[in-house]
Amino acid sequence: MPIALEIISPEKLLLARDVDMVVIPGTEGDIGVLPGHSKLITGLRGGLVDIYEKNQVTDRFFVSGGFAEITESRIAVLADEIVPQADLDAGKAAEALAQAKAAYEAVNQNDTDAYREASDKLISAQAMVDAIAPGKAEK
């Protein structure tokens, strides 16, 4: 039995189809979602969304963060920013990482909101760099 997957960015519905399994990068760790998963709402950290069909990864997307809503029969991934892994650009990723690092170091650690945001950005940028280097991001 397949599970209905929707990947949605703020600008448009990116993908909607039935798949066998999805692995998403939750804030508390990666989550593999199979049909019949218990109802769950989770935040996402930066990382790769893997789509499995017939025990093989058919599509791989990089998300910079967002949310996912999971019910028994469907999963909706609300991504802040999403790109197919193949389209990631190493140069841009390195640049984003450098920017995030600078912002992280500049931020006032006592300002919890700004600090959390900067560290989220840093994690996401690091994940983007990792997602490009083959082998490194594989589990």
Partner 1 sequence: MPSLKSLRNRINSVKSTRKITSAMKMVAAAKLRRAQAQAEAARPYACRMGEMLAALAASEAGNPNASPLLVGNGKSQTHLLVAVTADRGLAGAFNANIVKTIRAKVKALEAEGKTVKVFALGRKGNDALRLEMKDKIVGTKNFVGKKGAGFADAEAVALELVRGFKAGEYDVVTLVYNHFQNVMVQKPTEQPLIPAAQPTANDNEMEHNYEVEPDDGSLLERLLPRNLAVQIYAALLDNNAGFYAAQMTAMDSATRNAGEMIKKLTLSYNRARQANITTELIEIIAGAQAV
**The only residue of 13, 106, 110, 138 in contact with partner 1, by rule CB under 8 A:** 13
Q: In angstroms, rounded to a whole number, what is the distance separating the alpha carbons of residues 102 and 100?
A: 5
Is 72 or 133 the residue whose CB approaches partner 1 more closely? Answer: 72
Residues 92-121 that bind partner 1 (CB under 8 A): 113
Residues 23-42 that bind partner 1 (CB under 8 A): 26-28, 38-42
Dihedral angle sign, alpha carbons of residues 85, 89, 91, 93: negative
**The only residue of 4, 6, 88, 115 in contact with partner 1, by rule CB under 8 A:** 6
**The only residue of 4, 15, 78, 137 in contact with partner 1, by rule CB under 8 A:** 78
Taking the C-alpha atoms of 28, 32, 37 and 43 in order, what is their torsion angle to the nearest 10 degrees? 30
Kindly state the smallest distance separating residue 90's Cβ from partner 1, in Å. 22
The residue with tokens 């049909």 is 35
Binding of partner 1 at residue 43 (CB under 8 A)?
yes
Dmax over Cα atoms in the chain, in whole Å? 50
Kindly state the smallest distance separating residue 47's Cβ from partner 1, in Å. 15
116 touches 107 (CB < 8 A): no
SS3 at position 84? strand
Residues near partner 1 (CB under 8 A)? 6, 8-13, 26-28, 38-43, 67, 69, 76, 78, 80, 113
